[in-house]
C-alpha cells in the first residue's frame, strides 16, 4: 500500500524543483486518485487518473503484442505541452508540463521517474 503523505511530499518537492511541471496526478491501477496537484484548478484529477490508466493499459498491450518487452512510459506531446505517464505495479503517475517543457523533456522525465521510484520505495 502506498503512503499518501509520502506521495504528497514527493509531488510537492518535484513540482517545486521543476518549474515546467504544471501538475502531477498519482493513482492506483484501478484509476482511483491517491493524490493530485495541478496549477490549473479546473483539471479533474479523477478524469486524468482514469484516462492515464486506460492509456497505460492500451500501450502495454501494444508493446507486448509487438514483442517489445514491458511498458516503461508513455509520452504524449500536444500543441500546448506534454503529458508523461509512468507506471508501477502499485501506482500510475501522470505528469503534466507546459509548452516550454519540450526543451527540458529529458530532465522532466528523469524527475518524474525518480518521483515514482521514491513513492514505491519501502
Query: Would you call 46 helix, strand, or coil by DSSP?
Result: helix
Could you tell me how far CA 108 lies from the centroid of its own chain?
11
Contact 113, 93 (CB under 8 A): no
Compare 18 and 69 and report the one with higher pLDDT: 18
Q: Which CATH number goes with the domain that contains 17?
A: 3.30.450.30
Digit-coded pLDDT (tens) for 55-100: 999 998 999 999 988 888 999 999 999 999 999 878 999 999 988 8
Rounded distance, CA 77 to CA 79, Å?
A: 7
Specify the pLDDT at position 122: 79
Rounded distance, CA 51 to CA 27, Å?
A: 11
Burial 9-31 (b: 16+ CB within 10 A, else e): ebbeebbeebebbbbbbbbeeeb
Domain limits at 44? 4-120
Q: Please enumerate in sequence order all residues whose Cβ is within 8 A of that of 92, keeping only pairs 6 or more positions apart, or say none.
A: 26, 27, 28, 29, 49, 52, 53, 56, 85, 86
Rounded distance, CA 53 to CA 64, Å?
A: 16
Digit-coded pLDDT (tens) for 42-67: 899 999 999 999 999 999 899 999 99
Tell me the pTM. 0.92
Q: How many domains does the chain fold into?
A: 1
Amino acid at each position: 500500500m502506498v503512503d499518501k503523505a509520502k506521495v504528497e511530499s514527493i509531488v510537492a518537492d518535484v513540482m517545486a524543483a521543476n518549474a515546467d511541471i504544471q501538475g502531477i496526478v498519482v493513482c492506483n491501477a484501478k484509476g482511483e486518485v491517491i493524490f493530485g496537484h495541478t496549477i490549473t484548478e479546473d483539471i479533474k484529477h479523477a478524469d486524468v487518473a482514469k484516462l492515464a490508466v486506460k492509456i497505460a493499459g492500451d500501450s502495454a498491450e501494444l508493446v507486448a503484442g509487438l514483442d517489445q518487452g514491458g511498458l516503461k512510459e508513455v509520452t504524449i506531446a500536444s500543441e500546448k505541452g506534454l503529458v508523461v505517464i509512468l507506471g508501477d505495479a502499485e501506482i500510475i503517475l501522470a505528469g503534466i508540463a507546459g509548452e516550454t517543457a519540450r526543451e527540458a523533456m529529458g530532465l522532466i522525465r528523469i524527475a518524474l521517474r525518480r518521483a515514482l521510484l521514491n513513492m514505491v520505495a519501502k
